[in-house]
Structure 1
């Protein structure tokens, strides 16, 4: 294992080409600098420097070893910085964007728990409506849907499965669908542009089906508006099973699953964060999120 002080002396002399100048910059006696370089050369079994006139010139071995010596020093410096950050309080401002479907039933309460754990933290929480784009490179984001093309790290952390739901009142007035093809006869409530190309369903025995949803009279851009429209008898629509389960635990009987043996398209859940070094508060937040994921997302 190389001595970091010996590597530091060698790299400094390689840059200055002067033992005297390097000793001055490192605030060390010239004799100490010389001894450290001799010890490094002894460990390597090769001369790294040779004297020419009043300068120290690198040998071929010295030129080759310089790159590795600098990498070792950089790695050690990064390690020290990382350990120093662990000593720091988790404080300052944290900017987080979250898809609205995750905000009310899970992320909102979780964010309050996180802030109570770290009282020095200031959070700016925003609803993410449109998919993050290539221009979005800052802050942290929780997204639900297709994997976005973005200029950030995109980590898949879970999946939500979807089914068709209706209200009991709607099903009392309309014949429940027995097959996805029957959905063409029902009022369909859509969400944004996600279903403009149709919806594909899957059955264990019957395979895939992609029915017509021509009777889509209402399209909304927020999940809670879609839920409200379905609960109030506006028609049928796709909803995440997990979201319905959370709602039913507080408001039982408002939604009924239709076509229970048919699985709708799944939605991915993604954690987005910038490339490169992250602040201590961002690192702790990401770890907190990963450790708090609902078990249903991971199945």
Structure 2
């Protein structure tokens, strides 16, 4: 009579037997992970399809760039489109940097001050003031464009970069105030009380204690403001011209002038115009998510 012996699992380092049976939970987890990565890959492909069309078309010549050949690779690769797009857009690109950098910094700093006062220094009507500030987030630009233009003309504010800086600061204060207020409410109240005991006033507390620990929220606000101001087109149409406007207005003029002759120049210009915001998100993207999460839960 032949007996079949059951294999005895070899002991591990600690002397315990090792279970050689397949781990069903691990297999299930692997399937879920595979499906998750497949869905993420599909999403990446959907996002990159327009980028592919932009990229390959930007290297096509005038006769090769057409809607019927949008998916095809260039028959002859050329960089002339990039040279023409840079020549047309470079002045507007520098004007846009001159506009978005101060607009983002000023709006972030004012929002930080507002958020600190509204979250830590109670006064009569503080909630009403905060509500009124938030109303600015829900006012459509189109509804106030004509009155705003008339106010700027009556005040003698120069069109172009100065007007756009002021507009983006004003319209950026509500969202920056909201982000900073939520973040400052997570700061322990004992930290503020300790500063008061040491004789620090409101400004001293803000400058010496609150501002140094506000970097995560500043990253979020600066990225948000930079992107919003850079991609704006409506304000640019009303408050600037092709001679003093940002890159979005120059790109629109370039597309209207070059679209019938060469799609490649328009595509190269679109890549030039989107490159700064893309670089900002690549460099600071993880800090953006971390900053949003740091103010998402109140302490």
User: TM-score, normalising length from structure 1?
Assistant: 0.24
Structure of higher RCO (CA pairs closer than 8 Å, 6+ residues apart): 2
Would you tell me which structure has more strand in proportion to its own residues? Answer: 1
User: TM-score, normalising length from structure 2?
Assistant: 0.24
Would you tell me which structure has more helix in proportion to its own residues? Answer: 2
Larger Rg over CA atoms = 1
